[in-house]
Amino acid sequence: MSTKNGQWYPPEWPDRIRALQNGELTVATPRTASTVLLLRDSAEGPAVHMLRRRASMAFAGGAYAYPGGSVDPRDERPVAWAGPSLAEWAGLLGVEETSAQAIVCAAVRETFEEAGVLLAGPTAGTVVDDTTGDDWEADRAALVARDVSFADFLERRGLVLRSDLLACWARWITPEFEPRRYDTWFFVAALPPGQRTRNASTEADRTVWIRPAEAAAGYDRGELLMMPPTIATLRQMEPYRSADEALGAAAGRDLSPVLANAELKDGQIVLSWPGHQEFTRSVPTGGAPS
């Protein structure tokens, strides 16, 4: 990786970009996914929970990211629901109601699976205040193993999914030249009172609470490796003085998908993300980005 900052740029990208340009690459269909910027207030402003993906991971190994993952088809199963209706979520996300539920459920489920934080409660106006202990861990492990659906887990515990604790922030789609592609919805949420995060993910070797500006500075120095949507959303979080302020700012966000574009210019392939000039890279014949 020959970049001046921490932008994730796999060495195989130039060859794959050329193959795409030459019509020699079969474009993979992206899997729908959800990820959550979990925020916690402090005297210095909100901090965000991030995990570092293990270097051995096939996708984005070594990169800092947020809790998240692919939608499980069973996330479409009916659950006890609080907050905006499925029709409202469908209108916001521009999808069918079953897909809207699956996207939101995946965000809540993955946050519990990877961070041990659960955005659900016994009633529409409450949220669980402690998800530690052997019984909770057994349920979390069963979800990770797909031994139980999220709907069955919530029903057995008598819990209502609190969709009102989430706000949708952005949507990014993995570039067409990537072998593993995701259509990812980015949400923001505040850490519920009484709950605490832990490194519950087998895919991560480190977790941190870090202020967005501090994380972005680490990226700029080349110390923290991140994918474009991660650093982009971090920079967007910097102005807000509290988690509530950030959640409030989500209303009216442009949720048009951001998809990388690769085109041939002056004998070089230029890779860009519309609306995010800082990620533009030129791929010369030799293969290293500039």
d(CA 251, CA 130) in angstroms, rounded, equals 29
CA-nearest of 107, 98, 228 to 173 is: 228
Q: Is residue 223 part of a domain?
A: yes
Alpha-helix residue ranges (DSSP H) falling in 4-96: 13-21, 86-93
Question: Alpha-carbon torsion 96, 100, 101, 102, what sign?
Answer: positive
- Among the listed residues 174, 218, 215, the one whose alpha carbon sits nearest the alpha carbon of residue 10: 174
CA distance linking residue 17 with residue 15, whole number of Å? 5
Please, what is the Cα angle at 45 between 209 and 162, to 5 degrees? 70
Decide if pLDDT at 218 tops 60: yes
- Decide: 279 and 287 in contact? Cβ < 8 Å: no
Range of the domain at 184: 13-283
Which run of H or of E encompasses 111?
helix 97-115
Is residue 23 assigned to a domain? yes
pTM here is 0.92
Lowest mean pLDDT among 26-30, 56-60, 126-130, 214-218: 56-60
Lowest mean pLDDT among 16-25, 79-88, 193-202: 193-202
Alpha-carbon distance of 34 to 254, in angstroms, equals: 17
8, part of any domain: no
Is position 173 within any domain? yes
Q: pLDDT tens across 122-173, in order?
A: 999 999 999 999 999 999 999 999 999 999 999 999 999 999 999 999 999 9
pLDDT, mean of residues 85-112: 98
On whether residue 290 sits in a domain, the answer given is no
pLDDT score recorded for residue 285: 53
CATH code at position 53: 3.90.79.10
Tell me whether residue 189 is in a domain: yes
Total domains present in the chain = 1
SS3 95: coil
Q: Is residue 7 domain-resident?
A: no
Neighbours of 21 (CB within 10 A): 15
Residues 46-64 have pLDDT tens digits of 999 999 976 554 555 688 9
Flag whether 22 is in a domain: yes
